[in-house]
Amino acid sequence: MKSNTAGDILGTEDVKKLLMKFAVPSVIAMLVGALYNIVDQIFIGQSVGMLGNAATNVAFPLVTIATALGLLFGVGGASNFNLYLGSGNRERAKKVIGNSLFLLTASGLIMLVVIHMFLDPLINLFGATESVYPLALEYISITSYGILFLIFSTGASAMIRADGSPKYSMYCLLVGAVLNVILDALFIFGFDMGIAGAAWATVISQIVSCVMAAVYFFKMKSISLEKNDFVLKGSIVKPIFYLGASSFLNQIAMMAVQIILNNTATYYGAMSIYGSEIPLAVAGVISKVSMIFISIIIGISQGGQPIAGYNYGAKNYGRVKEVFKLVVGISLVISVLSFLSFQLFPLQIIKIFGDGSELYFDFAVRFCRIFLLMMIVVGIQPASSILFTAIGKSSKGIFLAMIRQVILLIPLLLILPIYFGIDGILYAGPISDGIAAAVAFFFVYREMKELTRLEKEENLKREEAAIG
């Protein structure tokens, strides 16, 4: 039987050093996931143009669904794994990993079949216009074959981090991202394959990342998997769903927002001087660029997840508090930096994704500055959602995952344009971001008080046990 090496480190090493050790690889891994789409969009924008950018935007909801499934079973599995390790229940921890790996594989296969069964209606649902449709169809028809590998590598990376190997988790995704850049350049410009070249580059890179991740589970640090660990059991699957739900729903909410944003941008754009294609292309570019900063925040939060989960299970509440403070504080610093970037350099950021008309750049700059106006505080919402999930408080995690996008942003995207046209879409962003940040701050404040109370009670019990 293996020694609980990961648990020993999570429960004893300095929290700041631990967060650095786990967060840096996690941030890089999250950036890699975001860069897959951004790199494609940059290369496609430079070679195909604005319509190519619009096509990748239409495809983005499918990537979001795949990521959501990966996080549902990956984060749910990782959170339960750390909680069980912290409480000393190694057998249950083993079954959590086995069941999670099975669910990742099965969901990937199911999603691949569903995409090909409903490809045409899905492309229309995601907001494709008549001129964008052929490019979107070509791109999605190919990238769909990488869905299984994307889901598996996304979920597996969370569990690899939970086992105390954040660097290997990072390498799995980093190798795929670097390969994607190389193949994008080779296929698009070297072989003149256009948007199909970007799609095949993505699929091949995702396969490589998946294989690297799968190899890890043959020799984990904390446990050794056996065949019966992969047999699904309701008592194991249920908590995986519970603790993965907030990350899953956050991604699904992003998908819903993207679909509604695409359709409202196209509909109200057609009524404006910009036409339908310009708002559709801009919405995709801005969403993906902002995801760079959100990915950093999520990466830092996921880095804190195994530390918070293990110590909460071990009743080391003081260490859990320290993780909360560090993660939320760093997330807010990242939010401020993102705010400054979008307000000071919007045109420079947009031009990275290719050329366009003066009207295109005018709308893009306005969209960037207004829609992302409250990025200065947006970081606290995803960070707190992940941390609440890590300590087993899935209901709070789910609520915080939902409030920004489902409860606030989606209704605002539907209502405000009725009265303000295309500008209503722009103002929906800062209103939802500001309210969600305030609610998340309130939740974190109350949780810190609760952790302080639990810490005092646990210290008193230990003192009484020492005396007795």
Nearest to 308 by CA among 5, 23, 33, 24: 23
**What pLDDT shows up at residue 4?**
46
Mean pLDDT of the region 40-45 = 73
Which of the two residues, 104 and 161, has the higher pLDDT score? 104
Cβ–Cβ < 8 Å for 258, 30: no
Cβ–Cβ < 8 Å for 321, 403: no
Tens digits of residue pLDDT in 259-279: 898 889 989 999 999 998 888
Q: Can you tell me the distance from the alpha carbon of 314 to that of 268, in angstroms, rounded to the nearest whole number?
A: 53
**What pLDDT shows up at residue 324?**
87
The structure tokens listed for 296 are: 């950093």
pTM of the model: 0.72
**What pLDDT shows up at residue 2?**
45
**What pLDDT shows up at residue 468?**
62
What letters, b where the CB count within 10 A reaches 16 and e where it falls short, cover 314-342?
bbbbebbbbbbebbbebbbebbeebbebb
**What pLDDT shows up at residue 36?**
67
Tens digits of residue pLDDT in 312-363: 878 888 888 898 889 889 999 999 999 999 999 999 988 887 777 899 999 9
Q: Which DSSP state fits 276?
A: T
Mean pLDDT lowest among 4-18, 65-79, 131-145: 4-18
CA-based angle 314:316:320, to the nearest 5?
A: 110
- Confidence bin at 3 (pLDDT 50/70/90): very low
Mean pLDDT of all residues belonging to the chain: 86
Q: Can you tell me the distance from the alpha carbon of 219 to that of 242, in angstroms, rounded to the nearest whole number?
A: 27
Cβ neighbours of residue 415 under 8 Å, at least 6 residues apart? Answer: 424
Q: Can you tell me the distance from the alpha carbon of 229 to that of 108, in angstroms, rounded to the nearest whole number?
A: 20
**What pLDDT shows up at residue 344?**
94
CA-based angle 247:297:400, to the nearest 5?
A: 40
Tens digits of residue pLDDT in 203-260: 999 999 999 999 999 988 888 888 898 999 989 999 899 888 877 877 787 778 878 9
Coil, helix or strand at residue 430:
helix
Q: What is the gyration radius of the CA atoms in the chain, in angstroms? A: 22
Amino acid symbol at 102: F
Q: Can you tell me the distance from the alpha carbon of 104 to that of 171, in angstroms, rounded to the nearest whole number?
A: 20
**What pLDDT shows up at residue 75?**
86
Q: Can you tell me the distance from the alpha carbon of 427 to that of 458, in angstroms, rounded to the nearest whole number?
A: 47
Which of the two residues, 466 and 15, has the higher pLDDT score? 15
Tens digits of residue pLDDT in 129-183: 788 888 889 989 999 999 999 999 989 988 998 888 888 988 888 898 889 889 9
Tens digits of residue pLDDT in 178-199: 898 899 889 988 888 888 888 8
Residue 99 pLDDT more than 50?
yes
For 343-367, give the DSSP string.
HH-HHHHHHTT----HHHHHHHHHH
Residue 301 pLDDT more than 50?
yes
